[in-house]
Amino acid sequence: MSKFKKLQCVLAQSSVQNGIVSIPKLYIEITGDMAESLLLNQIVFYADKAKRSDGFFYKSYKDWYREVCLTQRQVRYATNKLVEKGLG
């Protein structure tokens, strides 16, 4: 990721919910990967707030980037790994 993109992300985050994202240590231990644990954290958060009764929700790659600075490649990779582990 370029320095400009990183700066853009920092600035965007500072204006949304104080720019703080916390990840339970357990998620990091389970996944062994920061991108996976970050995505898992957000999936757990949103599944509880989904309008559908089965917990499904939709977010675009652009939404994920704006929210937690994960690129499309990172989201795809992390999603695939979570599914392989039976967590997604």
pLDDT tens by residue, 39-53: 999 988 888 887 888
73 sits in which H/E element: helix 72-84
Burial 35-64 (b: 16+ CB within 10 A, else e): bbbbbbbbbeeeeeeeeeeeeeeeeeeeeb
**Which stretches in the chain have pLDDT values below 70?**
1, 8, 10-18
* Contact status, residue 13 vs residue 65, Cβ threshold 8 Å: no
- Residue 48's pLDDT is 80
Tokens describing residue 38: 């970050």
Write down the pTM of the prediction: 0.75
- Residue 18's pLDDT is 64
- Residue 37's pLDDT is 95
